[in-house]
Amino acid sequence: MPSWPNIRLHGHDGHASILRVRDGLGAAFYLRSSHDDVKAAVQRALDTYRRAITPHTLNWYADDEGNWQPLDASGWRFIEQRLSAPRAAGISLLEDAGTMTGYRFSYHGRRLGHPLHLNSPAVTSAVGFWLPADDPSVELLRKVSLEMATLLPFDSGHAGFCFQFDEEALGLTEGIRPLAFLYPGLDIPELRRDSLRIGTRLRGTHWMTFLGPTVLADVGGVDALRTRLRSPGATVESLSSERAVVTLGEQPLSGDSRQGESMDAYRELSRLLGPWMDLDREAWDGFSEEDMRRWERRFLD
């Protein structure tokens, strides 16, 4: 069974206490493709997610100003128009606009080669989704991630434990910092920012790490990776002639340092994939440059 960290960090809105950060499950896929080339696949990915979380629903969407609006029939028409638009699009949907945690789906669709991105040659489009942390959601995470991997022409991706929070809100990572080193198995998502720089590289090692054409070819293919990966329970599954997923055991691990939870499989995979990882990000709020390098390399050093 996975070791649930049970993280709950609250803030205040006036006199009300609001849940700002919690543990959860999440997945992300990065695509070196323009929005117009993948919008149909992204629509199918969203449909897949909506079916999978039934009877739960996405209840809110971000409008053109970034304000949360009820996701009623009019809201769904707005989302469909957004996704069908040419050139570029972005959508953010969630269950609870008050906490930004639980069930959530985001997409950043970009126009590669646009002058806006001349200083970001490694820009990508990106799809992300999140689930609450409970036993049934682990299998749901695996199922939906694998299904999306067949729908999306991804260049990299990952799925596993993560911190759930509003990535655009200032200061929330200050509270996450001490927990990030206590639970190294939890990702700190920043889908939008990563999609501006990741290119075909990998965002670290996760329970499920998806390899696209560039990295899979560079490591020598599925058979070579299987030969080099010795950790018990680790599997390498071919998804197509160009893509694969590495899964580390039956369940994700939080890496709880107080319990001495072994992350040896994560370290082994990190050493194998280290040359293709996207490192050297700007430090988050509450993280020094040294903290940032230490967190990024937590399975490498």
pTM (predicted TM-score): 0.95
Count of other CB atoms within 10 angstroms of residue 225? 21
Examine the pLDDT at 15 and tell me if it is beyond 80.
no
The DSSP-derived string for 200-243 is: T-B----SEEEE-HHHHHHTT-HHHHHHH--STTEEEEE-SSS-
pLDDT band at 3; cut points 50, 70, 90: low
Cα angle for residues 180, 276, 105 (degrees, 5° grid): 55
Residue 237's contacts (CB-CB under 8 Å, 6 or more residues apart) are 244, 245, 246, 247
Q: What is the pLDDT of residue 119?
A: 65
Chain segment 139-172, per-residue pLDDT in tens: 999 999 999 999 999 999 999 999 999 988 888 9
Q: Where are the alpha helices (DSSP H) in the chain?
A: 35-53, 73-84, 135-151, 172-182, 191-195, 213-218, 222-228, 264-273, 289-296
pLDDT band at 182; cut points 50, 70, 90: very high
Is residue 104 within 8 Å of 27, Cβ to Cβ?
A: no
Q: What is the pLDDT of residue 140?
A: 97
Residues 39 and 83: their CA atoms lie apart, in Å, by 6
Q: What is the mean pLDDT of the chain?
A: 94
Q: What is the pLDDT of residue 252?
A: 96
Rg (CA), the chain: 18
Question: Which residue's entry shows tokens 């799925």?
Answer: 159
Average pLDDT over residues 11-25: 85
Residues 93 and 71: their CA atoms lie apart, in Å, by 8
Examine the pLDDT at 136 and tell me if it is beyond 90.
no
Chain segment 239-250, per-residue pLDDT in tens: 999 999 999 999
DSSP state, 144? H
Is residue 38 within 8 Å of 109, Cβ to Cβ?
A: yes
Residue 79's contacts (CB-CB under 8 Å, 6 or more residues apart) are 61, 71, 91, 93
Examine the pLDDT at 13 and tell me if it is beyond 90.
no
CA 132 to chain CA centroid, Å, is: 14
pLDDT band at 117; cut points 50, 70, 90: confident
Residues 171 and 249: their CA atoms lie apart, in Å, by 34
Closest by CA to 278, choosing from 167, 126, 57, is: 126
Q: What three-state secondary structure class fits 152?
A: coil
Phi (first) and psi of residue 198, to 5 degrees: -75, -30
